[in-house]
Amino acid sequence: MSVLRRLWKPLFGRSWGPLTFPNGGFMSIPAYTKIEEETLPDYVPSHFYPVRIGEIFRDRYQVVGKLGFGGTSTVWLARDFESVP
């Protein structure tokens, strides 16, 4: 069996079930509560590019809005001018 086949089989040769998530052991935040990552104690502004809504990157992508953030990044929704009909 080729190396590629041996690597492929464990990934795709079995069925995957749904993930289970814990229901306790953490603080729940109400859905209506807004969280701004820039106010968190570990946030360092110099580690991130200051993206602005409406900003255009590489003459192609326009920032539409912020989708979310994590420990090391922020996810932005952008419009691709080359895929617009």
Question: What does the pLDDT look like over 57-81, one tens digit per residue?
Answer: 999 999 999 888 777 788 999 999 8
pLDDT band at 18 (very low <50, low <70, confident <90, very high): confident
Supply the pLDDT for residue 85.
60
Q: What three-state secondary structure class fits 81?
A: helix
- DSSP three-state, residue 83: helix
The CA distance from 75 to 67, in Å, is 5
pLDDT confidence band for 5 (50 / 70 / 90): low
3-state secondary structure of 57: strand
Whole-model pTM over 0.75: no
For tokens 């209506």, name the residue.
Answer: 32
